[in-house]
Amino acid sequence: MCSVNNLNNQQEETTMAVRIRLTRMGRKKKPFYRIVVANAEASRDGQFLEVVGTYDPCKQPAEVIVKQDRIKIWLDKGALPSETVKSLLAKASKAE
C-alpha cells in the first residue's frame, strides 16, 4: 500500500527532467560556458536540447548573453535552472 509520503516523492521526481545549466567550452585555464537546456541525467558536457545563451567569465566585466524568449519558453514548460544559471539570469535581467 502506498503512503502519502511515497506519492509526494513520486510527484516531485516526475517534474520535468530538463535543466537549464552551463556546459564548459574553451581551453585549459580559459573557460567559456554555454547556457544549455539539457536532460537532467546527461553529463555536464554531454548532449543537450538547445543552446540558450553564453557566459564568458574571462572578460571584464563578465559577459552574459541570453536568449530571453527561449529561456521563458523553457521555464514555462517546467525546466529548472541550476543555481549558477539562476544567478546569471538575474544579473542579465538587471543589465537590460
Give pLDDT tens digits for 65-92: 999 999 999 999 999 999 999 999 998 8
* CA proximity to 91, closest of 26, 35, 31: 35
* CA proximity to 17, closest of 40, 36, 38: 40
Domain ranges of the chain: 17-95
d(CA 81, CA 26): 22
Q: What is the pLDDT, as a whole number, of residue 81?
A: 94
Class level of CATH domain 17-95: alpha beta
Q: What is the pLDDT, as a whole number, of residue 9?
A: 52
Q: Which residues, 6 or more positions from 58, have their beta carbon under 8 angstroms from its beta carbon?
A: 30, 31, 32
d(CA 24, CA 9): 32
Q: What is the pLDDT of residues 21-43, one digit of tens each?
A: 999 999 999 999 999 999 988 88
* CA proximity to 36, closest of 77, 3, 79, 76: 79
**What's the rounded mean pLDDT across residues 49-64?**
93
Q: What is the pLDDT, as a whole number, of residue 10?
A: 52
Q: What is the pLDDT, as a whole number, of residue 44?
A: 79
